[in-house]
Amino acid sequence: MEKFFLQDRQCLCSAGTSPQAILIQPIDEHEANTLEQKLALLSSPPCPPFLYAAFQVKDWNQELSPWEAPPVFGKESFGHGAPATLGFILDYLIPHLYQRYSLPSDIPVILGGYSLAALFSLWAAYNTDTFTAIAAASPSVWFPNWLEYARQNTLLTDSVYLSMGDKEAKSRNPVLASVEQCITEEYQILQETPAISSTLEWNQGNHFKEPELRTAKAFRWCLKRI
């Protein structure tokens, strides 16, 4: 695993021989400590060679939120840092990866993540056509006004993977409890766009069960679509 800093963000990369795709994921500190496990799951055959690039997000609710929203749990509200984070990916990270690893300019780029990072990945695909596929594992589609945004805008990607735990909706928090209905509606929106290949996979357990495995499954599905 190679580590470097770019625009004050720590990046962690693992490159296979002659990669056929770039996988990009925003991660938190916990995910940084479990990357080896995720990469092992990702790399198990059959799987084409890829370049995996993760970058750490210090303030999850601020840097990955597409717009401001009141607190849903605890006292921390949501910011509107998603545009700046997407700008980092497009203007700095991807060009740096091309140069650092001598990648062809037409190599497919897959963006994905877990939880709010998965929602950010979906949002990003409404704002740029850079990403060939989106790997959204247990996305926070309960986010205030998200479904309205998804209905009113057009996805600019070829493939979208969605997943959800079958117990994630079992929450006393009414916003979080809506996640099953929200992911079903999100998938229906995708199904109404025949040009986009999409799937919704249900996993066992709540939101915190096997995030590494769920994320690896999301990226592997996308890799099969390139």
CATH number at residue 118: 3.40.50.1820
Which tokens go with 123?
């949002």
Position 83 confidence tier, pLDDT thresholds 50, 70, 90: very high
pLDDT in tens, 174-222: 878 889 999 999 999 999 998 999 999 999 988 879 999 999 999 999 9
State the amino acid at position 16 in one-letter form.
G
| 85 Rama sector, left if φ>0, alpha if ψ -120 to 50, beta otherwise | alpha
pTM: predicted TM-score of the whole model, two decimal places: 0.96
Distance (Å, whole) CA 131 – CA 165: 25
**Stretch 12-32: mean pLDDT:** 94
Residue 144 is part of which domain span?
A: 2-225
Residue indicated by tokens 């390139």: 226
User: How many domains would you assign to the chain?
Assistant: 1
Q: What pLDDT, on a 0 to 100 scale, did the predictor assign at position 147?
A: 97
**pLDDT of 173 strictly over 90:** no
Query: What span, in angstroms and rounded, lies between the C-alpha atoms of 114 and 31?
Result: 10
Tens of pLDDT, residue by residue over 106-156, are 999 999 999 999 999 999 999 999 999 999 999 999 999 999 999 999 999
